Amino acid sequence: MIRLSTLLWALLVALSGYAMFQIKYEVVQLEDERARLDHRIDAAREQIRVLDAEWSFLNQPARLDQLAKHFLDLHPLGADQIGHLAQLPRRSPSPPAAAEAAAPPSAPSQPTAAPRLANARAAVMQ
């Protein structure tokens, strides 16, 4: 008859063989995943190199100067374009503090700045 210890050792060897097979299978899967990730990283790095090259080409000073001359109507600043502080409209006086407290918060207490800004721009451009 087979000894009990021999049977236990055979069972232990079989279990360790199965465990080694499972570990090897998991390692192969992880290596495949690592290879896929390495490939994706290499592709991303190549794409970054291409984008850097395109960025360098698009930002060449000579090319930008040519585009600016073609699409933008830029000229040197003339002396007639510079305004003086005296040409700006005066700020309207602020209302007293009591009138501000009595006015409802939804009603504007001062006229909007848009007309004053338009007047100031017109004065500067003249």
By the 8 A CB rule, do 98 and 92 touch?
no
By the 8 A CB rule, do 110 and 95 touch?
yes
Predicted confidence (pLDDT) per residue in 95-121, tens digit: 666 555 655 555 555 555 556 666 666
State the average pLDDT over residues 38-54: 97
By the 8 A CB rule, do 68 and 74 touch?
yes
Model confidence, pTM: 0.45
State the average pLDDT over residues 35-52: 98
Give percent helix, percent strand, percent coil of the chain, each to the nearest 5.
70, 0, 30
Count H helices and E strands in the chain, helices first. 4, 0
Closest CA to 123 of 85, 78, 79, 77: 85
